[in-house]
Structure formats: structure tokens, C-alpha cells
Structure 1
Amino acid sequence: MRIERGAAELPKAGKPSLYWLGQAGFWIETGKHRILIDPYLSDSLAKKYVGKKNDHVRMMAPPITVADLPRPDLVLVTHGHTDHLDPETLGPLHERFPDLPFVVPAACEALARERVGEDAKLILIDADETIEPLSGLEITALPAAHETLARNDTGQHLFLGYGIATGDLRIYHSGDSIPFDGLSERVKAFAPDICLLPVNGRDERRASEGIPGNFHLHEAIALAADYPFLVPHHFGMFAFNTIEPDVIDKAAAEQTSLRVIRPTPGECLSILTEKASEETWTRSTAAPTTTS
């Protein structure tokens, strides 16, 4: 894979890229499909937790509004927490695009219908299943542990990650997770080019306050070590549940084979998926071109 410098805008058809929305949210352009995953573009959690100790006030503004989002081809949701399944982001998106399909964990169907819309086009999936929701696009669901491998009463996983495969591009988004037995083997079987992993970590204080944790940065680096690129996320949104950017940058500078690319909101990372011996990343700072 070769990744070259690209334009400072949402890529045109055939120009794969990543665009970080903050938290675990990404706009993913595969070159053939436009995919939105876990977008949190509202202040719904700040409203929910107003006056509480962990008030969920945003540290970063949304890089784009829901009203200005172009129509994606597909929306992926990894689990039911509001910063991933946000009614004030996904509900308005469904209203704008009633035929838009949403891939959601089967265990979260009822919650998804409540938050997205009773008539929303939901594609239900569980861990270790692979679907082709669009021509030429495969989505593989991997289990996730946030912090446990939780299941509902019928055995369906509450937390998922997704392997996104199209052509010669393979991207793994873990959802919210910590390491667990069998994860590295599943990731190896998928063989991603790019790993999108949370790095906000976990500790006793957060656990005592009911805040489930994620990979520590060193754990995310270890999981991604056999693959070309790691793009960390799930930091810089809430002051009680983050990691400093300079910690990520320092760890990135210490890597030899793995390239750790710390994104910033409103930044487009352009990818060229042609075979080549040299790999470079493009980093630019413009919001996506908007259309209705």
C-alpha cells in the first residue's frame, strides 16, 4: 500500500481517506463507499449529565454538523453507549436520509430503533459474522470487551468491532474494547492495513464511577504492531476520560515499523491503495465538502 498527499477536502470517488469526527467517530472513504461509524456530533451527553461530577462537556467542537454531513452509503454502530449510538446525531441523519442503512449489533436492535427511528433500515449483525451490505463491501463483526465480553440473554454480543474490507483496503475499527483472549487471533485473520483503536485507557477511579475502560495506549500499539498503521482515537472529548496528545506523539516517535498517526478533528488523512514500496501519509485540515 502507498499513501500519498491528497486534497484538503472530502475525497472524490476513488480517493480513499479517513476523517476523524472525534471520540470513536470516523467518516471512512474507501474509494467505492462512504461509511460513517459511531458519529457523536451533538451535546446530548452534556445535557444528560449536567451538574454531575463527570459532566460530559465537550473538549472539542464537532468538526461538522449533522445538517452538513453528506449522505453516507452506510452507517456502522459498534454499541449502545450514547457517544456511539447518539439519538441527536443518528436520528436527524435518518430523517434526512430515510433509506440510509445502519449496521448495528443485533443485541442493540430495540435501542437503535428508539434512538435512530422505528422505521430505520437496520442491518443486524453479531460477532464472527460477515455480511456484504453493499456491492463490493464486506463487513466482519468482531467481539469487543468494554471491559467485559458482555452478551444479552440470548447470547448476542453487546459490544462489537468491525473489519471493513473492499478491494485492497482493509480497516479494523475495534469499537470500545480492552484486550481479551482470542482478539489478536481474530485481528490477524482479518489482516488490516489500518487499525482504528481507542487509547483512553482505564483505571480504578473510572471503574468505581461506572465508566468502562478501553485499551491503554501501549496495548493498542501491541495489538497493531504487526500491521502498517495505527490511528488512535477516543481521546480529547471528555476531560475525565482522555489521554494527552503529547503522550501519543511521544509513543509514535518511538515506533520503528508501526506508524502511529494521531488525528485531529477536521483533518483528512488520504490513502492511495495501489501497490508500492514507499508509504506516506497526507495530513490536511479542511472540513468535508457538504452536499444534501
Structure 2
Amino acid sequence: MSGRLVELELDCPLAKILRSPPTSGIRIYWLGQAGFIIEALGKRIIIDPYLSDSLAEKYRGTERPHTRLMPPPVTVDETGVIDLVLCTHAHTDHMDPDTLKPLLQQNPRTNLIVPRAARSQAVDRSGVAEDRMILLSGGEIFSFRQGITVTATRAAHETLETDPEGNNRFLGYVFDFDGVKIWHSGDCVPFPGLENEIYALHPDVALLPVNGRRTDLSQNGVPGNFSLKEAISLARSIGCPHMVAHHYGLFAFNTERPEVIDAAAQSTKSPVIHRARQGIAFTWTRI
């Protein structure tokens, strides 16, 4: 879809904006880490929200205490009416019980999309019955509302993993909003077939993690993601004109420096690189 992604400075706190109904256009707000709120066609969608401090409680006193470097821009109570909730996989900073349970309680008619391979974790962490869940694996499509579909894409959180039935443990999602396509890759690294799979879906915007990966973390249960260079290369190879770099700035042991992302944005002509930031919205403007 012909258009461009524009950064819009917010003139008030995000919590105040979310008290109003969602826009009829397309806006994207970053919640920190891999979390986003996407407003489109009058609906509000939230993906991978981590709005608690549950990991700091879990890892207090350990080698990696998971202390937040930035507070969440909103509390669960301040997210407003949410029409659809999605999680890309079962790691707590993407499927957080302290966020999902109250979020879904205050939105009792809202469905939760999760990988089919993470069904049991989703039941436990969301507190909702399975009849409120949409279970997907790579390549499957969910038609949410007229003009809005969600296509699950495979992701490799360092490795491609499936359950015994062949369902992908890690997913990304391509949202099609009446022809404008936004791809959230989930936590992912390059793997054979990824470029062709996503190129065929023609995303206009790619939301990509850029914190990279380190052997010492991987060997201790902290798998990584695209490096900034890999994310830029992927966006270029799939012909995606706009990339939003995220999954940084939350935990000191697993991040990328903002100034490195900004320098890459300044020196790269294609794709257009944006750094996810609190205090701004990304809005899609048709040309």
C-alpha cells in the first residue's frame, strides 16, 4: 500500500490518549521491549505487553536481576478498551501473567492469540478459558474483523522449534489492515526460508528486535534476536520500506544502545529506520 510511516510527538501522556476511542487510521505506540499497541480501523490491538515488574521479582538477587531501565508508559488499567491481545511466545517478557490476567479481566470479550504450541502456558498465564483463545501456527490466518486479518509467521528464537505435533513455538504476526501490512517478527534470528516467507506477504512496516545475541547469554537460557545489522538487511531484502527497531532499553544485560540505532537510521536510506521510543506515535500516511 502506497504510503509512509511518520513519527508524531505526543502532546500528552499515552494514558490520556488511550481514554479516547481508537483512531480510524493507523497508529502504533511502543510499550517497551517487544510490546506495542496498534490502532487501526477503529480497533485497538496489543501485542506482547510487559507492563509489570514480574521478572525483577523472579530474578531478584541473581546474576541477571532484570531490573527495568524504563518504566512502562501505561499501567494495565490505563490501556483502555482492547479488542485483541496477541503473544508471540511464552517467555515472560512477551507472555506476562501479571499483565495478561488483569488485561483480559477488564476486557472480558477480548480474544487472545497465542502459538498453539504455547497453549498450556497461555491458559496458566492469562487466566482465561481456552474458548477465548485463538491458537495458531506458522502460515495460519485469523480473520479478525472486516478489513483486518492476522497471518502467523514462523520465528526462530535462535532456533526453529516445534512441539511434537509440528506447531511452531515462536511466531511473528503480519497484520493486514485493509491493505496496509505491519509485520511483528516476534523474537527471531535469520533462518533459511524466512526472507521468502515474508517477502511473499509484502509488509509495509516491519517491527524488528535489534538486541542481538551473545553466546554467554544463549548458553544460560537467554536466547537472542536479530542484530541491528541483520534486521536492516532483512527489511531491505524483503522489500519492506519502513522498519521500527525495538527490544532494547529494558534490561541492561540484553540491549542495544539508542545512539547506535540512531546512527544507523541516519546512514541508511532504505529501509527508512525508526527507533521505537516512548512519547511518540508512528502513524501511517497514505500517499
Both structures adopt the same fold (TM-score exceeding 0.5): yes
Whole-Å Cα distance in 2 between the matches of residues 265 and 71 of structure 1? 20
Whole-Å Cα distance in 2 between the matches of residues 18 and 5 of structure 1? 10
Consecutive unaligned residues of structure 1, counting only runs of 5 or more, are 277-292
> How far is 1:154 from its partner?
1.4
Contact in 1 for aligned 2:22/2:43 (Cα 8 Å):
no
Is residue 2:264 matched to residue 1:251?
Answer: yes
1:77 paired residue among 87, 103, 111? 87
> How far is 1:58 from its partner?
0.5
Consecutive unaligned residues of structure 2, counting only runs of 5 or more, are 11-16
Whole-Å Cα distance in 1 between the matches of residues 52 and 138 of structure 2? 28
Whole-Å Cα distance in 1 between the matches of residues 7 and 95 of structure 2? 32
> Partner of 2:194 in structure 1?
183
Contact in 2 for aligned 1:30/1:169 (Cα 8 Å):
no
Where 1:54 maps in the other structure, the secondary structure is coil
Whole-Å Cα distance in 1 between the matches of residues 229 and 6 of structure 2? 27
Q: Could you list the per-position Cα deviations for residues 169-198 of structure 1 after superposition, in whole angstroms to 9, with x for gaps in the alignment?
A: 100000000000010001101111100000
> How far is 1:7 from its partner?
7.4
- Is 8-17 or 164-173 further displaced after alignment? 8-17
Whole-Å Cα distance in 1 between the matches of residues 278 and 45 of structure 2? 17
Contact in 1 for aligned 2:9/2:279 (Cα 8 Å):
no
> How far is 1:32 from its partner?
3.5
1:33 paired residue among 27, 39, 43? 43
Whole-Å Cα distance in 2 between the matches of residues 21 and 6 of structure 1? 16
Whole-Å Cα distance in 2 between the matches of residues 236 and 56 of structure 1? 11
Letter in 1 for 2:149: E
What TM-score comes out, normalization by structure 2 length?
A: 0.92
Alignment of 1:136-151 (within 5 A): 136-151=147-162
* Matched length: 274
Where 2:187 maps in the other structure, the secondary structure is coil
> Partner of 1:160 in structure 2?
171
> Partner of 1:217 in structure 2?
228
Is residue 2:180 matched to residue 1:169?
Answer: yes
Where 1:27 maps in the other structure, the secondary structure is strand
Whole-Å Cα distance in 1 between the matches of residues 242 and 215 of structure 2? 30
Which structure features the higher share of strand residues?
2
Whole-Å Cα distance in 2 between the matches of residues 236 and 173 of structure 1? 18
Whole-Å Cα distance in 1 between the matches of residues 280 and 22 of structure 2? 16
Change (3 A) 1:195 1:4: closer
Is residue 2:283 matched to residue 1:270?
Answer: yes
Q: What is the aligned-residue identity percentage? A: 45
Change (3 A) 1:64 1:159: same
The structure whose RCO (Cα within 8 Å, separation 6+) is larger is: 1
> Partner of 1:285 in structure 2?
none
1:132 paired residue among 139, 143, 163? 143
Where 1:138 maps in the other structure, the secondary structure is strand
> Partner of 1:203 in structure 2?
214
> Partner of 1:284 in structure 2?
none
Is residue 2:34 matched to residue 1:24?
Answer: yes
Contact in 2 for aligned 1:21/1:266 (Cα 8 Å):
no
Letter in 2 for 1:216: S
Whole-Å Cα distance in 1 between the matches of residues 274 and 127 of structure 2? 35
Where 1:42 maps in the other structure, the secondary structure is coil
Change (3 A) 1:47 1:245: same
Change (3 A) 1:13 1:88: same
Change (3 A) 1:249 1:7: closer
> Partner of 1:287 in structure 2?
none
What TM-score comes out, normalization by structure 1 length?
A: 0.90
Letter in 2 for 1:195: A
Letter in 2 for 1:151: T
> How far is 1:262 from its partner?
0.5
Alignment of 1:34-49 (within 5 A): 34-49=44-59
Is residue 2:71 matched to residue 1:61?
Answer: yes
